[in-house]
Amino acid sequence: MSFTTFSQSVEKTVLPERFTFPFYYQPHDIALIAIEQLQRDLLQSSLLKAHFIDDDKTAGKMFGVLVVQNKEGQLGYLSAFSGKLSQHLIPSTEPLNAPLQNCHQPIFVPAIDDSFESDRIFTDTQKEINVLNLKVNDLTTELEIPKLQAELAEQTTQYNHKIEGFRQNIITARKIRKDKRLHAKNNLSEREQSVLFDELAKESVAEKNAFNAFKENQLQVLELTKKSLELANAKIIALKNKRKKLSANLQKAIFEQYSFLNALGDKKNVIELFSSLTSDLSQQFKAIPSGAGDCAAPKLLHYAYKHDYYPVAMAEFWWGKSPKSAVRKHKQIYPACHSKCQPILTHMLKGLNVDENPLLMNPAEGKQLDIIYQDDDILVINKPADFLSVPGKNITDSVYSRIKLAFPYATGPLIVHRLDMSTSGLMVLALTKDANKQLQKQFIKRTVTKRYVALLSGVLSNNNGTVDLPLRVDLDDRPRQLVCYEYGKPAQTYYEVIHRDAENTRVYFYPKTGRTHQLRVHSAHQLGLNAAIVGDDHYGTSADRLHLHAEQLTFIHPATGKELFFEVAPDF
């Protein structure tokens, strides 16, 4: 049993009216109490502490809590981890003589799939696949195929050698016959010439017939070997197709074990939930991300529904060392990932009264765009924080839509560069096609100078420096970015400290490149400044806003050729 009672009184804690929206949330107080209790148990478990805290080589893991009520109305919580853990770290049974909250070894909910059935399916099918692998290996490396390939190569070499010998003999014989004809014309009578010429003609025909018969015989030998080789290859293709079908069936059977309940009692497996992502059946399994269904949130909800617990609130946090690529901080709370969890949790939350999706709300409502500079060619604006540069998937209100409405006769595409929705500050827009073209050239050549100001949640030791960390998108959790030396694009940021206090550092940023979330990742990542920007809800913790502002902008006017400089101070 994985139901954990609270070790402190929670009677005075007001419960939420609606369940947590898992992809963007501030954890409720009752969820924070559960997290604190679970983290104490994680720390007091000698096995888990040694694995996650003491071992420098082991990266941390996402853990989650789901506050629930049981049938008797008692409040408690369930705990889970994302992915898998070594079996020796997970207790197989609950301690018999100690309350759960005092056992110091958390009891986690099990995986979604029926492990026994999955193991049986995997073992039985894998035995068949292994037999096929041996047969394919025998044909391709040890027995029939290599022997036939060697035989065909030898026969082909001999055939070509004999054919060439035949041709040389024919050429020699032809020359001899030619000489005989010339000699006969000068030395023999017409009757003698006629007899000789007939004999030479018959000799020529006989040679050709012999040559053709030899070729036909040799080609038949080659053809027999080729057919044997084709049959052997056909056997391999058949074996591989059978193996492929078995593998696909195995994959399908395992995916079908990942079936998820929702609050209505409906159950869907991972294939059904991800099938809407592609209409190509051959790509159906490829559309399912690796590890889908193994995250903490689906495990928690499925266990709650299965055992008649009523979900109250949920939160997930990172525990342990930061990974090398993603930005993850010990004890910090994070939302559920999109690529793996969104189709699953969208189904699992049906029937629950869930908080509204804040990502569907227009954060720019009631905000104004300040025009700093305007002429016939360009605009320079001060974009507020939480204001889209261009229309998004669900929200159209943006710098582009506002300016398009205010300047309906503008001939340019308007947008030259972008700022993240959460970032405030200066943007230049083009009102003509030519202005857009000229400004884009400056951005591409990196002759535009930008200075950002940011407040970091940490105290930097160096006064200045350069962060050089290549970035790419996190395919499992867009739009977050990862540090990736293999596939990432180069990204460099020069920084300069302006001011420090006991908890924060104010800095200037001079980005040399303009990658998505560059300043945010370079600030938060352990290989960067290791101090997230205050209010960064992607890589740090939420606040009233993201404390990042594009303060200065310098560029050449696309029409006059004069250098323009703009500066607007931040509101933080």
Cα dist. 254→81, 272, 421 in Å? 20, 13, 41
> How many whole angstroms separate alpha carbon 336 and alpha carbon 297?
7
Residues marked active site are found at: 420
Long-range contacts of 360-363, Cβ-Cβ distance < 8 Å, separation of 24 or more: 360/394, 360/395, 362/395, 362/397, 363/387, 363/395, 363/421
The DSSP code sequence of 73-107 is: --EEEEEEESS---GGGS-SS--SSS-GGGSSS--
Contact assessment for residue 203 and residue 173, using Cβ atoms and an 8 Å cutoff: yes
The DSSP code sequence of 304-358 is: HHHTTPEEEEEEEEEESBPPSSS---TT-EEPPPHHHHHHHHHHHTTTS-B---G
Contact assessment for residue 83 and residue 266, using Cβ atoms and an 8 Å cutoff: no
> How many whole angstroms separate alpha carbon 450 and alpha carbon 423?
14
> How many whole angstroms separate alpha carbon 290 and alpha carbon 121?
19
Phi-psi category of 465—alpha, beta or left, where left has phi over 0 and alpha has psi -120 to 50? Answer: left
Max intra-chain CA distance, the chain: 136
> How many whole angstroms separate alpha carbon 400 and alpha carbon 439?
17
Contact assessment for residue 482 and residue 535, using Cβ atoms and an 8 Å cutoff: no
Partners of 316 in beta bridges: 64, 334
Question: Over the range 329-361, which residues count as b (16 or more CB within 10 Å of their CB) and which as e?
Answer: beebbbbbbbebbebbbebbbeebebbeeeeee
Strands in 12-137 per DSSP E:
61-69, 75-81
Strands in 434-520 per DSSP E:
449-456, 464-468, 471-473, 481-483, 492-500, 505-511
Contact assessment for residue 526 and residue 322, using Cβ atoms and an 8 Å cutoff: yes
3-state secondary structure of 17: coil
| H or E segment and range at residue 146 | helix 144-187
Q: In one letter, which amino acid is 173?
A: A
Token duo for residue 213:
């018969």
Q: Running DSSP on this structure, what letter comes out for residue 267?
A: E
Q: Running DSSP on this structure, what letter comes out for residue 259?
A: E
